Copies of this chain bind each other. A is one copy, B any other.
Amino acid sequence: MTLAEVARRAKVSTTTVSRVLNQSALVNPATRRAVERVIRELNFHPNLHARVLAAGKSRTVGLVVSNLENPFFLDIFRAMESEAHEHGYDVTVQNTGYDRARLLAAVHQLLQVRAAGAAIIVSEMDPALQAELAESRMPTVIYDVGQPGPHVTSIKVNYERGIRKAVEYLYALGHRRMAFVGHHPGLKPLQGRREAFLATMKEYDGRIHYALAMEADDPPGGKRAARSVLASRPQPTAILCANDFMALGVLGELREQGLKVPEEISVVGYDNIGLAQFAAPPLTTLDIPREAIGRMAFHALTADRNPAKAAAAPPREWLVEPELVVRASTAPPPAR
C-alpha cells in the first residue's frame, strides 16, 4: 500500500494525497474528504521512513537512560514523552543498564535515525562520546556532566547541596555515625553523590564517623550495601542512600536484621520517587524534580527549531536544587 495507490484510486495526484496527509490548507475540502475516504478504505499507513527521508527532518527525539527499572528514569521519560506528544513529537527510549557499549549503540542509533535531538540522562557518559555528540551537531541534553555548547544543553543537579541538607538534618537530630550507600564507582553522577557526601563529612571534620558501600542500582544492591555498612564498627545510626530505589533494599535488610526504622536507625533516600511514600516506613528523601527535568529536556532539544522565539530559548545550562522531604524513616538516634 503506497501513497501512489491512494492517489490512483482517488483520482488525484500524489501531491494532493501528500497534502492531505500533511494537513496542508491548500486542498479543496471535497477533495480532501474523498482522499481521506480512500485512505480509510485502503487502511493506508504512510511509510514513515519515506516521509522522513523526503522531508529531511524527523519529529522524534531520543532519550537514553541508565536504568529504566529505577522509577527516577522512568518518570523523566514519561514527563518528556507527554511534553513531546503535546508538541507533535515522539520519543524513543533506550536503556543502557549502565553499560557504556550500550550507551554508544544507543547514541549511534539516534544518529542513524537522524533524531531531532537526544537527551542522554545516564551516569556512564564519557568525554569521547560527548565530543562525538558535539561534532554531530544534533541537539543534545546531557545530565550531570560536561559543558553546554552550541547544540548541547546541560542539566545538573546540585547533589552536594542535597547531601548537605540531609547530613545537617541528621546531625541536628543527634546522629554522629553515618553510612553512605552509593553505586558503581567510576560513574560520574553517582560518584558525584558519593563525593558530595565525603566533602560534607570533611566539613564536619571528624565530628561524624562514617562508612561507605557501593553496590548495584536496585533494591538487591541496596540490601547488600546495607549489610555491608551494618557490619562496620561503630555501627552507623543513619544511612544515606544515593537514591530511593536502593533505599528500598536497605529498608528490607534492616527489617530482616530486626532493626527498627527510625527508632534504631534512620534512613534517607534521594530522588523522591513515588514509591518512597509507600516504603515502610515512608522514606525521608531529597526531591529531584523529574517532571521538570523531562519537560525541560524536550524543550532544550527542540528549541532551535523555532528561531523566531530564539530569544525565549531555555538556558543552556540548568542547575537543579534538591529539596529535603522529611517523612517517617528518620528520627533521633537511640539513646544507647
Residues of A within 8 A of B (CB): 43, 45-50, 52-53, 58, 68-69, 71, 74, 77-78, 81, 90, 92-93, 95, 108-109, 111-114, 132, 135-136, 218-220, 223, 248-249, 251-252, 255, 274-275, 277-282
A53 to chain B: which residues have CB within 8 Å?
Answer: 47, 49-50, 53
Q: How far is the CA of A50 from the CA of B50 in the complex (A)?
A: 7
Q: How far is the CA of A255 from the CA of B255 in the complex (A)?
A: 15
A114 to chain B: which residues have CB within 8 Å?
Answer: 47-49
Q: Is the interface of A mostly helix, strand, loop or mixed?
A: helix
A252 to chain B: which residues have CB within 8 Å?
Answer: 277-278, 280, 282
Q: Provide a sorted-by-A list of 5 A–B residue pairs whose CB atoms are within 8 angstroms.
A: A45-B108, A49-B52, A68-B77, A219-B274, A252-B280
Task: Give the Cβ gap from A33 to chain B, nearest Cβ, in Å.
Answer: 20
A274 to chain B: which residues have CB within 8 Å?
Answer: 69, 218-220
Task: Give the Cβ gap from A297 to chain B, nearest Cβ, in Å.
Answer: 17
Q: How far is the CA of A271 from the CA of B281 in the complex (A)?
A: 24
Task: Give the Cβ gap from A315 to chain B, nearest Cβ, in Å.
Answer: 28
Q: How far is the CA of A137 from the CA of B193 in the complex (A)?
A: 51
A71 to chain B: which residues have CB within 8 Å?
Answer: 69
| A136 x B49 contact (CB < 8 A) | no
A45 to chain B: which residues have CB within 8 Å?
Answer: 108, 111-112
